[in-house]
Amino acid sequence: TQLLEQSPQFLSIQEGENLTVYCNSSSVFSSLQWYRQEPGEGPVLLVTVVTGGEVKKLKRLTFQFGDARKDSSLHITAAQPGDTGLYLCAGVEVNQFYFGTGTSLTVIP
Amino acid sequence: DAGITQSPRYKITETGRQVTLMCHQTWSHSYMFWYRQDLGHGLRLIYYSAAADITDKGEVPDGYVVSRSKTENFPLTLESATRSQTSVYFCASRQGRGEKLFFGSGTQLSVL
């Protein structure tokens, strides 16, 4: 079993603050994906990172893939209440997606 | 664009009963997956299918059975439900290798 650990597990911040969540693994993946899940719904893909050291931006969200392709981070600038949700990373290898345990983010207005 | 639908949305059953969760996708995606989501464990793969009549075990397959006679349907059966199978179950699909997963809205199952 390939294990991905995410930290922190829970995060509650005020609107306008910045935050970073981490996804760490002992395994190397061909790519890594980040999903956001809202209550009562399934996860929805935010981004895929493929190359070690790659940085991708999606509006206020910045995603980085570690040089060794074992870890990743998600940075949110000026968080808004609409960012509230469960953030999941997933390591992708051939046919398998290995999901992290998730970071539950609450942004307080 | 119906996408991927799961039914029922909520299910309460008793220990020992057989339960089938349904999953239907309208995209003709080759790959389909069943995950369970539990607090502290994230999403864990139960079974997946690469095409009709091709299925394979995931991380936690014990107590579950799947079939895929048609590309668009991928039902998950709990042969004799146990309390440890209380969870939220998600079906997902994707077209090719490494591409993103599309998830259904989930089935919340309670085994009493």
Q: pLDDT truncated to tens, each residue of chain B (112 aa)? A: 569 999 999 999 999 999 999 999 998 899 999 999 998 778 999 999 999 999 999 999 999 999 999 999 999 999 999 999 999 999 999 987 668 899 999 999 999 9
Residue A30 reports pLDDT greater than 90: no
Q: Find the residue in B nearest to A30 (Cα).
A: B98
Q: Band of the pLDDT at A29, cuts 50, 70, 90?
A: confident
Of B35, B59, B100, Cβ closest to residue A33: B100
Beta-bridge partner residues of A62: A57, A75
Q: What is the DSSP letter of A68?
A: T
Locate B81 and state its tokens.
């439900």
What pLDDT does B19 receive? 97
